[in-house]
Amino acid sequence: MADNVQTGDPVANDMLFEWLLRRGDTALVLGHRVSEWCGHSPVLEEDIALANIALDLIGQARLWLSLAGEVEGKGRGENELAYLRDAWDFRNVLLTEQPNGDFGKTLMRQFLIDAYQVPLMEALKTSRDNRIAAIAAKTAKEVAYHLDRSADLVIRLGDGTAESHRRMQEALDALWSYTGEMFASDAVDAAMAEAGLAPDPAGLKLLWQETVNAVLDEATLTKPDSDFAHLGGVNGRHSEHLGHLLAEMQFLQRAYPGATW
């Protein structure tokens, strides 16, 4: 497509590919985690809601990974990228691969990511790459709705019963050290920002904090007093959880290569 930033593109293709994998894998791994709830949620309505959110996320992953495959130009499409890479080739943030825990922990993880995805997609709408801007405009509407839902439930459960409050505080304490990775810029981010293709993630932190502070305050939850951040997911250094997740997600294509239905 002639109107995309390709001729004289200041970002090397491998940088753009890496960055697109981060978007696609973050949506894919979170989508798979959320889909694990299907048939197991506390009530039917929440089961349906979680399944629908997983669908949105997997749909977003397909858009990002299809574009990643196109940019890579080696004949790999969304399916090869999703099903035929091993853990060290995945570029999702560590927060997304954390196990679901209880319903409250799943909702807290969702909220912490939604509050990041909303300003990121808003900023990406003005990317100089039309393909990125189009996916972001599509995704922005969906993640804004997800954030309304996850924020609402974090508030209701945080400011709920003593038991629900305790569980939400424990979830927040357990997940907090995985949030810093979303804002840790590296050379890929710097190149993307320099070229006007994507915002520097560090610049999104204030917007994220604004949402998180307001919602946690309303939820009567206490933000952990630590800046320590686990890093490495976007560079392929993952926790042990990702391998187990992939073993399930990729089983069919590994056992029956090329299977379709």
- Minimum CB separation of residue 57 from another protein in Å reads 7
Largest CA distance in the chain: 59
Question: Contact at 8 Å (CB) between 54 and 67?
Answer: no
The DSSP secondary-structure symbol of 89 reads G
**C-beta of 61 vs 87, nearer to another protein:** 61
**C-beta of 87 vs 140, nearer to another protein:** 140
Distance from C-alpha of 77 to C-alpha of 81, rounded to nearest angstrom? 6
- Minimum CB separation of residue 35 from another protein in Å reads 10
The H or E element containing residue 110 is helix 103-124
- Minimum CB separation of residue 232 from another protein in Å reads 28
**C-beta of 119 vs 180, nearer to another protein:** 119
**C-beta of 50 vs 87, nearer to another protein:** 50
The H or E element containing residue 249 is helix 240-249
Distance from C-alpha of 116 to C-alpha of 122, rounded to nearest angstrom? 10
**Tokens for 61?**
């992953």
- Minimum CB separation of residue 46 from another protein in Å reads 7
Amino acid residing at 50: L
Q: Which residues bind another protein (CB under 8 A)?
A: 31, 45-46, 48-49, 52-60, 62-63, 118-119, 121-122, 130, 133-135, 137-142, 144-145, 147-149, 151-152, 155, 207, 210-211, 214-215, 218
**C-beta of 62 vs 238, nearer to another protein:** 62
- Minimum CB separation of residue 152 from another protein in Å reads 5
Question: Contact at 8 Å (CB) between 147 and 138?
Answer: no
Distance from C-alpha of 246 to C-alpha of 33, rounded to nearest angstrom? 10
**C-beta of 128 vs 241, nearer to another protein:** 128
Distance from C-alpha of 244 to C-alpha of 228, rounded to nearest angstrom? 25
- Minimum CB separation of residue 115 from another protein in Å reads 9
**Tokens for 90?**
């995945």
**Tokens for 191?**
């190149």
The DSSP secondary-structure symbol of 225 reads S
Torsion, Cα 5 6 10 12, to 10 degrees, reads: 130
**C-beta of 31 vs 180, nearer to another protein:** 31
Place of tokens 């977003």: 60
- Minimum CB separation of residue 30 from another protein in Å reads 12
